Structure 1
């Protein structure tokens, strides 16, 4: 990408909240809309939405994007902010700092993922809190009311939408991520997008329960490509792309098919990046490999210092943390990781860089999407690319009463109840 294109995009492409927070920055932090449109313009491409649970993941992912000349998303989920040093309120600051320190010139969106509303009372909390996230510099958000019934999911999105700037990236969700249980259907996906369209809302992405799981996927069939493609086809008039959750645990071939055969432009990766930053051995699926004693297979001399890893394991044993709950080590240990020798810090970020670069270039087909994103900004002359589809549904058919009646007629299987991870 030419320096001239970058400078032009930098001058107009940063949203007002980013300019206000980082007035002298050279980091091209952009709306999530820009990233989505760049993938669509290239075609058959999706980029990583890297869950920046710790500073080394964010650094490694940004370095990989620069190396691949790819537009990228850095995100953190609302639930992750309770056990990680990266939060919804400091993630933009971390991204901006690293972009300037590393000389990153590719466009980066900062995404608040899985902003969950599990019951209707959570809607009032969301309306009060979400403006503060944008005040802190995020440029994209996922409203996740998938834990509620279809009608309340739709109504929650409508109710909270005024808190989201029109220029921001916007993701919605149907179906909690439950693996093979309660798979999403074209009917319920279209219901949600129809209702949102009637109220003048156009989500950039929709997340589905399409067969995958979060965290360490030890079993299950993984992402169902045909189902995903069928749902995306049904949503074509509404301009909504796919967001793939639970990407860790699916092999490269399946992910290549998702990029090539569906309208997915955003692929969330969390657990694999965390494990790689620590030096834990993973397979092609991104699943951490366990030893015979049931512990993670830490590679000697890679990731965190071996002695510090022993402390992490001892802490986990003492706190009765195992498997996916190792994610709770991020908050108490990041200070210690940052206190390691520079050589160790570099190999932590470097391992993430190599893994993410492989995904962007060899699997997701996202290489060279950075100049596409910048050209879209320059052509628009603005940070705001507008909606992909204008409202065409009749709002009179989507009153509260009719929303509830239509939802009652869907009758889809949501799968078992339970505390499924966000």
Structure 2
């Protein structure tokens, strides 16, 4: 990207909350809408939404995107904010700092992922709290009311919509990510997007349960491409793209299929980046390789200092932490990781950089989407690209009473209960 293009995009592309929080910044933090449109403009492309559980992941993902000249998303889930040093309220500041430190010039969206509401009583709390996220510089949000019934999911999205700036990226969700259980259907996806359109809302993304899992994908099933494509085809009139959750551990060929055969533009990757930064042995698509006794296999001389890794393992054992719950080591140990030598810190960042760059260029087809994103900003002359589709559904057919009646006709399998937040 030319410096002239970057400077022009920087002048008009940063939303007002970003300008207010970081008035002298040279970081091109943009709305999530910009990232989605850039992928659609290129075609058969999606970018990484890297869960920035710690600073090493954030810096590594940004460096990779800069090398690939790719627009990117850095995100954190609401639940991750409870066990990571990165939270919904400091992620924008962390991203801005890293962009300025590293001289990043590609467009970056800052996404609040899985802002969940598990029961109707959570809705007024969400409506009051969501503005505080945008006050800190967040530029995109995922409203996740998928734990509730289809009617309450739709009504919750409508109720909190006034708390989300119109220029911001907006993701909605119809199914928790539960692997083979509770697979999403075109009927429930269309119900949600149709009802949102009737109320003047156009989500940029929709997240499904399309067969994958959160954490490392070990089921052998993974993303169901045909299910995803069918749902996206049903949503074409509503302009909503796909957000692929649970990307970690799915093999590259399946991810290429998702990019090529569906309308997915956003792929969340969390666990794989964490493991790679630590120096845990993984296969070629980020799946942790366990030892015979069921432990993570740390590669000597890669990622963290070996002695510090051993401390983490001892801490985990003492606190009953194992498997996927190693994610809970981010909060107590990030300050220790920062205290390592510069060479060790850099190799942690570089490990993430290498893995993300491979995804962006060789798997996701996101190379050079930074230029496209900047062109979209300059063409609009604004940080606000507007909705992809205008309202065309009749709001009189989508009153609360009619929403409940229509939802009662949908045969929905939500799958088993459990902890499927991130």
User: Do both share a fold (TM > 0.5)?
Assistant: yes
Alignment of 1:375-394 (within 5 A): 375-394=375-394
What is residue 331 of structure 1 aligned with on the other side? 331
Contact 1:216 1:323 in 2 (8 A): no
Aligned counterpart, 1:372: 372
Q: C-alpha displacement at 1:420, in angstroms? A: 2.6
In structure 1, distance between residues paired with 2:239 and 2:301 = 47
Q: Write the distance in 1 (CA, Å) between the matches of 2:257 and 2:100.
A: 35
Deviation at 1:295, TM superposition (A): 1.0
Matched, 1:4 2:27: no
- C-alpha distance after superposition, 1:280-299 (max 9, x if no partner): 01112311111112110100
Cα distance in 1 for residues equivalent to 2:143 and 2:220 = 26
How far off its partner does 1:417 sit? Answer: 2.4
Decide whether the 8 Å contact of 1:158 with 1:196 is kept in 2: yes
> How many residues align structurally?
422
Do the aligned partners of 1:14 and 1:30 also contact (CA within 8 Å) in 2?
yes
8 Å Cα contact 2:114-2:421 kept in structure 1: no
Aligned pair 1:28/2:28, yes or no? Answer: yes
User: Is contact 2:39–2:369 with CA below 8 Å preserved after alignment?
Assistant: yes
Whole-Å Cα distance in 2 between the matches of residues 249 and 402 of structure 1?
A: 41
Alignment partner of 1:294 is 2:294: yes
- TM-score of the two chains, using structure 1 as the length reference: 0.99
**Displacement of 1:413:** 1.7
Residues 3-51 of structure 1 deviation map (CA, whole Å, 9 limit, x = unaligned):
1111110000000000000000000000000000000000000000000
* More displaced stretch, 218-227 vs 27-36: 218-227
1:310 aligns with 2:296: no
Q: 3-state DSSP class of the match of 1:87?
A: coil
- Worse-matched range after superposition: 282-291 or 132-141: 282-291
In structure 1, C-alpha distance between the alignment counterparts of 2:381 and 2:349, rounded to whole Å? 35
Deviation for aligned residue 1:249: 1.7
- Inter-partner Cα distance in structure 1 for 2:421 and 2:403: 28
Look up the match of 1:265: 265
CA contact (8 A) 1:212 1:220 kept: no
CA offsets, 1:220-266, max 9 Å, x none? 41000001000000000000000000000200000000000000000
The residue correspondences of 1:7-406 to structure 2 (distance < 5 A) are 7-406=7-406
Structure 1 residues 220, 401: CA separation in 2 closer, same or farther (over 3 Å shift)?
Answer: farther
Measure, in 2, the Cα distance between the counterparts of 1:141 and 1:30. Answer: 13
CA distance in 2, matches of 1:61, 1:416: 34
Separation of aligned partners in 1, 2:294 and 2:94: 34
Instruction: Provide structure 1 residue ranges, at least 5 long, that are not aligned to the other structure.
Output: none
Contact 2:117–2:147 at 8 Å: present in 1 too? yes
- CA RMSD after TM alignment: 0.6
Unaligned runs of 5+ in 2: none
Is the Cα contact below 8 Å between 1:145 and 1:156 reproduced in 2?
yes
- For the 8 Å contact 1:198–1:391, the answer to whether it is kept is yes
Q: Residue in 2 aligned with 1:410?
A: 410
- Whole-angstrom CA distance in 1 between matches of 2:117 and 2:67: 37
